[in-house]
Amino acid sequence: MSNEEMGNDDTQEDIEGQNPEENNEDNSQNEPDVKTLQAQKQHWKEKFEKLQNEVKESREKTEPNKSNATDKFDYADLTVRTYLKTEGVDNREDQDWLLSEAKELRKDPTELLAKKFYQEELKDRKDQREAESASPNGKGRGSGKTQADPDYWIAKGKLPKDQKLAEKVVNAKIKADDSNVMFDPIGE
């Protein structure tokens, strides 16, 4: 509602009760008129947009030097890796290999995964990893005897080249021979 509709014949009064004419005199000294205020707003808006574009351009120049992990999370990579995991490509090395092949061939990883060659290659890689993890870590055999064990050399019937180990083998063989005597010596 306007002032006239509310029954106020007076024009706008200031909060403090001053006449509008007095306010206009004070406002003209303290605040610029509406036209210059709009011009200032437009000026600052243009300046802000210009600075924003400069910052954006400088970031684009420096971003290739930074890794994506520090700036933004790569949801596309996560999505592709999750898909590969659901298709049975659980190992990170296999995923990296498939993604590098896809990048090199400029194909989608899902297309490569559909091809028999890549399925067989992934299966071979998986089998190779399983075979390596199933074998014992040391150089020894499944019986628990290693080349550093004197019993290994006694069973083999040879002496090792290492002098200290050869002494242990000889002492162990003498000890084993003494304990395997069927009869006690007569004079003792």
Q: Read off φ and ψ for residue 8, nearest 5 degrees.
A: -90, 115
Q: Are 84 and 109 in contact (CB under 8 A)?
A: yes
Q: Measured between alpha carbons, how far is 152 from 140 in angstroms, rounded to an integer?
A: 9
| pLDDT computed for residue 116 by the predictor | 92
The better pLDDT of the pair 132, 20 is held by 132
Q: Are 85 and 113 in contact (CB under 8 A)?
A: no
CB atoms within 10 A of CB 95: 19
pTM: 0.37
Q: Are 172 and 154 in contact (CB under 8 A)?
A: yes
Q: pLDDT digits over 104-156, tens only? A: 999 888 888 889 999 999 999 888 888 887 766 655 555 567 777 888 888 88
Q: Are 10 and 3 in contact (CB under 8 A)?
A: yes
Q: pLDDT digits over 57-90, tens only? A: 888 777 665 555 455 778 888 888 888 888 888 8
Quick one: which of 185, 186, 145 has its CA closest to 169?
Answer: 145
**Count, residues in the chain:** 188
